[in-house]
């Protein structure tokens, strides 16, 4: 007989199986489905070896099938094993003729995780009231994760009974940073993690757009209170609890920087995903890629930033082919996962008009990043150079005449800095003008007389 444990937490399923066998004094052995051979003769030989070991030890075998692509080898193995087999998978698998019992194992709720966090953090738990609730909501707990956080607390804050020394890291900051690092999802082949120290002052936006960004922070930060303590999660029955955002605007207007600031403000990792690279011409592959991404991201409460959202969310025309129908299935699947995802999902596009209005209605926030006006450009120029950069007399009013986006201003500033460093000089207007000409040439443009008005050429 085969027992299938179905749910999103691979480690939790294996631990549950081990704990159940421990109650009757029997061992559990575990293997990954990926090691099963492909040839039937090799599968039969492996099944025979495991049957012998299980008979001798009285134990059971657990097969981790969370990333199984082809269930056929596992189905043959289960049939030939002739012993009780436990399989962990996200959903039930068709395993041939082997009798199967399915047991669904949903992820623990935040309230169900709290006792484990408090138990493992020991004497530090009393000083982490409030933080433990945030940890439980954002990071799916395992004994290993909680023990790792406790170990880091023991090293960096060895005496929980003593008063914190001035300038020492706070307990809640140590615990949060440790949990984020130890729970960091493994999805390097699916997305790129952004390391950034961006701050609010680095982003030049009108007050209305900044207010929306701060509202996003407030919703992500206070989800444990609203969803769990105040009961909105039960009222919603799990629907629409994800926080989804659309950033629209031209390249270089600050969309990526805004995502980095949200990550820094919330203490969460930001992963950039190119949606066009996840799409496949093979039916079912796009959904498989998206599923792997969201399942991995759930482990680390990551912020997911999907670039080029037009690739999937473009306006739909009349459905004429099976490929068009499947494209709609891909979009529906992505929307479903975004709405169910416990973290923050950001979609970016250069052209909001390209996004189907039916999709826009399902997003919680939409922020338009407009091309910066002259006043915004002057402010960007004043902030673009680090404090340690040696600067000459810079005329920010003149610099703001250059019709550049924030991203292009950064490119020009860096180009001017390299030119000045090469000559052993402070960054001056001449260096910036030279770098600006190079930036314009990249896009096939030339500086206009209006942009150069007042410059000493």
329 and 205 in a common domain? yes
147 and 24 in a common domain? no
Domain boundary among 104, 119, 141: 104
What pLDDT does residue 401 have?
Answer: 92
Q: What is the CATH number of the domain that holds 425?
A: 1.10.8.60
What pLDDT does residue 30 have?
Answer: 92
What pLDDT does residue 54 have?
Answer: 92
- Has residue 301 been placed in a domain? yes
CA distance 128 to 117: 10
| pLDDT digits (tens), the chain, 457 positions | 789 998 877 677 888 888 899 999 999 999 998 889 989 999 999 999 999 999 999 999 999 988 787 888 999 999 898 888 999 988 888 887 767 888 888 877 778 888 888 888 888 888 887 788 888 888 877 778 888 999 988 888 766 566 666 666 788 889 999 998 888 877 777 788 888 778 888 888 888 899 999 999 999 988 878 887 788 877 766 566 788 999 998 888 889 899 999 999 998 999 998 777 777 666 667 787 888 888 888 878 889 998 877 766 765 554 445 445 555 667 778 888 888 888 899 999 888 887 877 788 888 999 999 888 899 999 999 999 988 999 988 999 999 999 999 889 999 999 999 999 999 999 999 999 999 999 999 888 888 888 888 876 5
- Has residue 455 been placed in a domain? no
Residue whose tokens read 């902030």: 383
The total number of structural domains in the chain stands at: 4
Domain boundary among 351, 368, 385: 368
What pLDDT does residue 215 have?
Answer: 94
241 and 150 in a common domain? no
What pLDDT does residue 322 have?
Answer: 47
What pLDDT does residue 321 have?
Answer: 52
CA distance 2 to 75: 10
CA distance 288 to 294: 10
Q: What is the CATH number of the domain that holds 89?
A: 3.40.50.300
CA distance 84 to 62: 9
- Has residue 451 been placed in a domain? no
Q: Is residue 62 within 8 Å of residue 90, measured between CB atoms?
A: no
246 and 347 in a common domain? yes
What pLDDT does residue 319 have?
Answer: 44
- Has residue 83 been placed in a domain? yes
- Has residue 211 been placed in a domain? yes
167 and 131 in a common domain? yes
204 and 153 in a common domain? no
What pLDDT does residue 71 have?
Answer: 86
Domain boundary among 309, 337, 368: 368
299 and 200 in a common domain? yes
258 and 135 in a common domain? no
224 and 338 in a common domain? yes
334 and 315 in a common domain? yes
User: Domain limits at 135?
Assistant: 110-182
175 and 65 in a common domain? no
What pLDDT does residue 410 have?
Answer: 92
152 and 171 in a common domain? yes
Residue whose tokens read 């600050």: 254
pTM of the model: 0.76
């Amino acid at each position: 007989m085969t027992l299938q444990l179905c749910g999103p937490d691979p480690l939790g399923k294996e631990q549950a199986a081990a704990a159940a066998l421990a109650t009757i004094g029997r061992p559990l052995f575990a293997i990954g489905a990926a090691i099963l051979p492909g040839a039937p003769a090799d599968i039969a030989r492996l099944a025979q070896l495991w049957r012998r070991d299980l008979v001798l030890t009285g134990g059971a075998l657990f097969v981790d099938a969370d990333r199984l692509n082809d269930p056929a080898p596992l189905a043959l193995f289960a049939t030939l094993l002739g012993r009780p087999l436990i399989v962990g998978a996200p959903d039930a698998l068709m395993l041939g003729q082997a009798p199967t019992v399915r047991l669904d194992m949903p992820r623990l709720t935040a309230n169900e995780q709290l006792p484990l966090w408090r138990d493992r953090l020991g004497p530090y738990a009393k000083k982490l009231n409030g933080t433990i609730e945030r940890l439980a909501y954002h990071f799916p707990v395992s004994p290993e994760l909680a023990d790792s956080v406790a170990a880091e607390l023991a090293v960096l804050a060895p005496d929980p009974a003593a008063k914190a020394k001035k300038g020492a890291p706070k307990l809640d900051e140590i615990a949060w940073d440790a949990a984020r690092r130890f729970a960091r999802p493994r999805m390097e082949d699916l997305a790129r993690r952004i390391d950034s120290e961006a701050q609010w002052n680095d982003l030049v936006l009108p007050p209305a757009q900044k207010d929306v960004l701060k509202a996003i922070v407030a919703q992500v930060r206070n989800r444990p209170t609203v969803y769990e303590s105040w009961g909105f999660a039960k009222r919603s029955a799990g629907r629409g609890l994800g926080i989804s955002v659309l950033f629209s605007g031209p390249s270089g207007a600050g969309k990526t920087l805004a995502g980095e600031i949200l990550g820094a403000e919330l203490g969460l990792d930001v992963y950039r995903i190119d949606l066009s690279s996840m799409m496949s011409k093979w039916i079912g592959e796009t959904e498989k890629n998206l599923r792997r991404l969201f399942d991995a991201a759930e482990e680390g409460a990551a912020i997911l930033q999907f670039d080029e959202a037009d690739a999937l969310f473009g306006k739909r025309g009349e459905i004429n082919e099976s490929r068009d129908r499947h494209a709609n299935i891909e979009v529906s699947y992505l929307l479903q996962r975004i709405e169910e995802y416990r973290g923050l999902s950001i979609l970016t596009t250069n052209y909001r008009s390209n996004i189907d209005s039916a999709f826009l209605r399902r997003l919680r926030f939409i922020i338009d990043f407009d091309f910066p006006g002259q006043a915004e450009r002057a402010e960007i120029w004043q902030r673009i150079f680090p404090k340690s950069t040696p600067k000459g007399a810079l005329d920010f009013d003149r610099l703001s005449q250059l019709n550049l986006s924030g991203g292009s201003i950064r490119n020009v500033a860096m180009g001017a800095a390299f030119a000045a460093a090469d000559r052993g000089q402070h960054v001056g207007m001449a260096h910036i003008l030279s770098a600006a000409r190079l930036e314009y040439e990249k896009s096939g443009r030339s500086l206009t007389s209006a942009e150069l008005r007042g410059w000493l050429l």
